[in-house]
Amino acid sequence: MISPRITRHTPVILQGISGRAGRLHSRLMREYGTNLVGGVSPSKDVREINGIPLFTDCTGAVQATGAKVSVALVGAYDLLDAMRDAVAAGIKMIVTPTEGMPVHDALKAKRLTQEAGVLWIGGSTPGMAVAESAKLGFLPDVSLKSGPLGLMSKSGTLSYESGYRLAQRGVGTSVWIGVGGDPVKGTRYSDLVPFYAADEQTRALLIIGEIGGYDEEDFAAALKTHAFAKPVFALIAGRTAPEGVAMGHAGALTYGSHGGYAAKRAALEAAGVQVFDTLNAMVEGITAKLR
Amino acid sequence: MYLLEHDAKQLLAAHGIPVPAGCVITDAGRQPRLPPGPWVVKGQITAGGRGKAGLIQKAATPAEVRSRTASMLGQQLKGRTVKEVRVEQQIAGASEAYIGIMLDPAVAGVRIIMTAQGGMDVESLPRDALQVSTAAPDAESISAVVDKLSAAVGGVAGAALAQAGRAMAQAFVAEEALLVEINPLFVHADGSWIAGDAKFVTDDSALPRQSVQREFLNRKSSPYLETALKDAHGCDYVVVDPEGEIALLTTGAGLSMMLIDEMRASGLKPYNFLDIRTGGLRGEIKRLVNVLHWMCEGRRVRVLLINIFAGITELGEFSKLLVSALQAVPDFKMPVVARLVGNGMETARSVLADAGIPLHDDLDAALAEVHRHLEEQR
């Protein structure tokens, strides 16, 4: 499996580049330093956008550019097909910011990428970044500062706020991965534990979680399985959310005891994770440990 | 959507799963033709714990059905109001089994759980009382696992679980469910079976291609307020406390949830959760105007806190839209506190200052000002 530690040389294509979001974010990613070498758009009329050459499918784009990584900014109901296109073309890592991919499509996409050995980050993710090198997706530059903290988050905005406040206090991130807010994720926190354990720049790990699903519990179990030796911190949103309502993210849905806050917190604490109640406490706690 | 039991049973019945004869009552004064008695009267609400809250009660006479229905309608549980009651035929003399088919993201598939000892809280049963396995998310694979597990259960219950499970597998895949659960599954000595209670959670993202679920969503006075609202307006809005004092204009699910948690922990009373999705405003005030109108419905709401961390959105533009939206809702008279971070702060500051709204870049400072407004109004 490809490492999520992208560099400013990793060749990247953008599927859906001719859409509104595609045009905007191709420019912003390039300005940040991402080596965006091609775009995919079904239209044959446009040849380039923001100076980036366009192709009608991933196979053409990969053959011409040698891209290994794709960011797919296509509609929720087109995403499964776009991912099939990317996997067939030999792409090794796909980031899918699109919100609202049907869960049963995501199940198919997950099986597809797993069988092909492709790293899928998403859906409903703001993307990922290696600060001061390259970013894939929407992460705001003001929150990105290079440093020792590995960061994984289900939420975009809560991670922006956290990264921003930490950066203001001098704490930067190593590899920042938005695992996304959907119930079925291509990559879950637990899948990335071995990566962060081995990553030399990462000296500590922060997960920004929220109610719904079992990702935090499985992450806690993975920390034990892999005897993860670096300090781990967590912030979990949705402690007081009502049951039976998806709180903005499709994955942030509790029913009965399913996905509740208490079980997540207990599992994380039992695995030695320091769980914070507030953003301020999190920033103070991590700053004290890492600066 | 976490479906009401009544809707869940309609979906199950459509996939060949027998359910007790029943009807739904929304108006205590109007009782439709009841199925043969005796009955169970069940308050319809999208949350668990109905039994303990007195929302599931037996009734022996139509008069009892009427009085129980009248007392349940309007009752509140976990912040939700009972607007519908299902009255159904009591099932007697049966044993109670459990079967659930649920999404299992870890295996990119589903988890199937069953036991002959249903009825109660299955999570409190010892692990070895449960048959558990996972399957690929297609009906054939799920059915194969259902067969294996039900054979291990054995007996009359096992045979019933096999039949129910196969039908549920079809329903799970066809309806693009996240969870289908029957508890209790009533099993009679002669092998016949029927779904006593049902939990069905569906995928909002699949709604555009799920016609029956769309009908549930769009029916008059939809019980699925939040989903209906998102469907119609493109943003997530949840009243988290009808007695709340602070309206929240926020973007991003995680940050909005965290803000509510922190405010509550410090004794503040937020009224709503909102993910306005600033990126989806597209230069129009319509969504903001709708949201401001909804906030006016909170009887105790006395101050509006705006908290936007904008990765991409231009805050000067956003501030202009906000001021126009506030002007378009003259009923909205409460003080406004704004905390914004992102691009275009200088323009935002002057636009908001002209409208008499001070702009903070620190969240704690904004919360302190919210506190001050509440104190002043006390």
pLDDT digits (tens, 9 = 90+) for B197-251: 999 999 999 999 999 999 999 887 778 988 988 888 889 999 999 999 999 999 9
Asked if the peptide bond before residue A123 counts as cis, ω within 30 degrees of 0, the response is yes
B258 inside 8 A of chain A by CB: yes
Residues of B in contact with A188 (CB under 8 A): 105-106
Q: What is the mean pLDDT of residues A107-123?
A: 97
Query: Is A184 in Cβ contact with B309 (below 8 Å)?
Result: no
Q: Cα–Cα distance between B123 and B158 in angstroms, integer?
A: 20
In CATH terms, B95-209 corresponds, of 3.40.140.10, 3.10.180.10, 3.40.50.450, 3.30.470.20, to 3.30.470.20
CB A72 within 8 A of CB A44: no
Q: Nearest CB to B203: which of A24, A77, A102? A: A102
Count of helix runs (H) and strand runs (E) in chain B: 11, 18
Closest C-alpha to A104, from A70, A126, A76, A71: A76
The share of chain A scoring above pLDDT 70, in percent, equals: 99
| Full-model pTM | 0.94
| Mutation target vs B (from A77, A104, A279; most B CBs, 10 A cutoff) | A104
Q: Cα–Cα distance between B262 and B9 in angstroms, integer?
A: 39
Start and end residues for every CATH 3.40.50.261 domain found in chain A: 140-290
A28 inside 8 A of chain B by CB: yes
User: Please, which pLDDT band fits residue A244 given cuts at 50, 70 and 90?
Assistant: confident
B10 inside 8 A of chain A by CB: no
Architecture per CATH, domain A12-122, reads as 3-Layer(aba) Sandwich (3.40)
Q: In the prediction, which pLDDT does A256 show? A: 64
Q: Cα–Cα distance between B344 and B225 in angstroms, integer?
A: 35
- Please, what are the averages of pLDDT over each run of 10 residues along chain B (378 residues)? 95 97 93 93 90 94 96 90 95 96 95 92 83 97 98 97 98 97 97 96 95 91 85 90 96 94 95 91 92 95 95 90 96 94 92 95 93 91
Q: In the prediction, which pLDDT does A291 show? A: 78
B116: amino acid identity, one letter:
A
Residue B224, CB-side half-sphere exposure with 13 Å CA sphere:
24
Q: In the prediction, which pLDDT does A255 show? A: 67
Domain covering A140-290 in this structure, CATH number:
3.40.50.261
Start and end residues for every CATH 3.40.50.720 domain found in chain A: 12-122
User: Please, which pLDDT band fits residue A43 given cuts at 50, 70 and 90?
Assistant: confident
CB A87 within 8 A of CB A59: no
CB B47 within 8 A of CB B62: no
A72 min Cα distance to partner chain B (Å):
18
In CATH terms, B234-377 corresponds, of 3.40.50.12140, 3.40.640.10, 1.10.287.310, 3.40.50.261, to 3.40.50.261
Tokens coding B152: 């291990």
Q: In the prediction, which pLDDT does B156 show? A: 97
Cα dist. A249→A204, B7, B257, B263 in Å? 27, 23, 10, 20
Q: In the prediction, which pLDDT does B378 show? A: 78
CB A127 within 8 A of CB A154: no
Q: What is the mean pLDDT of residues A122-148?
A: 96
CB B357 within 8 A of CB B367: no
- Our measurement of the distance from residue B357's CA atom to the centroid of its chain's CA atoms, rounded to an integer in Å, reads 35
Q: What is the mean pLDDT of residues A114-123?
A: 97
Would you give the DSSP letter of residue B35? Answer: P
CB B337 within 8 A of CB B306: yes
What is the dihedral sign for C-alpha B329, B335, B341, B344?
positive
B156: amino acid identity, one letter:
V
Architecture per CATH, domain B21-89, reads as 2-Layer Sandwich (3.30)
Instruction: Quote the mean pLDDT of chain A.
Output: 95
A40: amino acid identity, one letter:
V
Tokens coding A249: 């993210």
User: Please, which pLDDT band fits residue A42 given cuts at 50, 70 and 90?
Assistant: confident
B206 min Cα distance to partner chain A (Å):
5
- Domain ranges in chain B are 21-89, 95-209, 234-377
Interface confidence (ipTM) of the complex: 0.93
Could you read off the pLDDT of A57-103 as tens digits, one per residue? Answer: 999 999 999 999 999 999 999 999 999 999 999 999 999 999 999 99
